[in-house]
Structure 1
């Protein structure tokens, strides 16, 4: 169910242990999984000739959370079975929970997803969420990779359980700038591009330097759609970087950051340099 706690949007199962937008998601998930580790679940016995339902689609989007601004989160799950689908349950869990995965018993109690479409042999369920996510984050350790556990039950009682049917990232948004030391150079002359990489700090509610990150300098020749990597630089503790490269023709220059487990990818604005 979805409700507000201190203006924080929270997605939880009936057990009150699993959440998407809350500062204790990792510890809560770990506690929930551990508390059910000792629960014995009778296995589903199915005839060898009766396969379980098939999960045909799981889609979910990444989130790059800055300090302000609404974002959309959408989850879709589809499954099929010749006998029809009785139910689909899903649960979000942090992959950083030291290898502890949710059990089918825990997932079966989740009311996260709701039906969207159904046929005699298939069903699609989903969950949609829109909010100013940044207002709900007050601790940096929520960033990381999350898994979607899916449990599907067919009308004949057979089940399919996939603890990590899909994954997505909740990451700090990054801001990357680029500016060259000149707007015009001779052909084959060296050009230096400087920049700054910052990332959102949800705890301090401000942008801060993202040091120790590798960033590539890219060049796109006039008339071309292809970006070519011309050099690399590692950001300083203050987030600054500078790269020098040889400019053979007029074109656009930019910095590109691939991101990390907790920091979102970022690309700077393009900077035009005339070579002649």
Structure 2
């Protein structure tokens, strides 16, 4: 993402900038103007530290007198930063409706640091747009349409030792949970998070959660259990409001 001068904002070229927004309010409207549909190409966008991620938002508005225009089309982060679309297009499917599609990019490692995502931006973003009708009616979307922009998480391949293991003996399972830091463009240990340990018995296709463990200050996981059957062990993190879910590659262990 690249930051542009303020003069280009009206053209939709600006992608992401800090902005002091007023407190979020409920949608407002006048007359029979309404948004008949608002859709997101993804319900959640998981962003790491290098690859740019994309999102398309499509909105259709209707009014008996016809829609003069749909304005705004910006996404607002929990920290009050704004993403403007890098491209926008609108059509008139009927005499009373207008349909607009806005495309956004999200990047933690842009060529200009000013345009980068920050950790404080992770969470629920809301669409801010207004449909204006020819008869002066309007409908403003303030907080009702949302999408999650999350920090991408990783789990190292599960390690279960010893391999093979004697039935009834202790098996030690380890792993590491990290997540993207948009502030430093690196992955750091995700501390204090509960992660499920799952097991799939040999000859079956379904994993079952056996127990859970909590990551230490470096995001490391370690637990022990009694080995009673051959099969595959894996760690699974359910995610959080700001961080993506992730499942580790499993480690197969046979009994001897």
Which interval holds the TM-score relative to the shorter structure? 0.7 to 0.9
CA separation in 2, counterparts of 1:205 and 1:9? 25
Deviation digits for residues 154-194 of structure 1, max 9, x if unmatched? Answer: 44443222312322233322221121113433556553310
TM-align CA RMSD: 3.7
Give the Cα separation in 1 of the matches to 2:108 and 2:174: 31
From 9, 20, 35, the counterpart of 1:29: 20
Matches within 5 A, 1:49-68: 51-61=32-42, 62-68=44-50
Equivalent residue number for residue 93 of structure 1: 76
TM-score when scaled to structure 2? 0.75
1:124 equivalent in structure 2: 99
1:147 aligns to 2:126 (yes or no): yes
User: Equivalents in 2 of 1:45, 1:80: separation in Å?
Assistant: 12
Aligned-partner Cα distance in 2 for 1:188–1:147:
53
SS in 1 for 2:145: strand
Counterpart of 1:221 in structure 2 is 201
Contact 1:216 1:231 in 2 (8 A): yes
- Residue 139 to residue 44, structure 1, CA distance change in 2 (3 Å): closer
Distance in 2 (CA, whole Å) between partners of 1:147 and 1:191 is 46
- Does the alignment pair 1:235 with 2:215? yes
- Distance (whole Å) between structure 1 residues aligned to residue 47 and residue 131 of structure 2: 31
Q: Deviation per CA, 1:33-62: give whole Å up to 9, x if none.
A: 37xx9xxxxx9753xxxx332432331533
Partner of 2:109, secondary structure, is: helix
Distance 1:240 1:54, change over 3 A: same
Q: Deviations over 1:51-109 (max 9, x none)?
A: 33243233153332222223222222233445543322333222355xxxx9xxxxxxx
1:1-276 alignment runs, 5 A limit: 4-5=2-3, 13-14=9-10, 21-22=16-17, 25=18, 28-30=19-21, 33=22, 46=31, 51-61=32-42, 62-89=44-71, 90-96=73-79, 113-115=88-90, 118-130=93-105, 132-135=107-110, 136-137=115-116, 139-177=118-156, 178-186=158-166, 190-275=170-255
Relative distance call for 1:268 and 1:188 in structure 2 (3 A) is same
Q: SS of the residue aligned with 1:259?
A: coil
Tell me the secondary structure at the aligned position of residue 118 of structure 1.
coil
Post-superposition shift, 1:241? 0.8
CA distance in 1, matches of 2:191, 2:69: 47
Query: CA contact under 8 A between 1:20 and 1:92: conserved in structure 2?
Result: no
Deviation at 1:248, TM superposition (A): 4.5
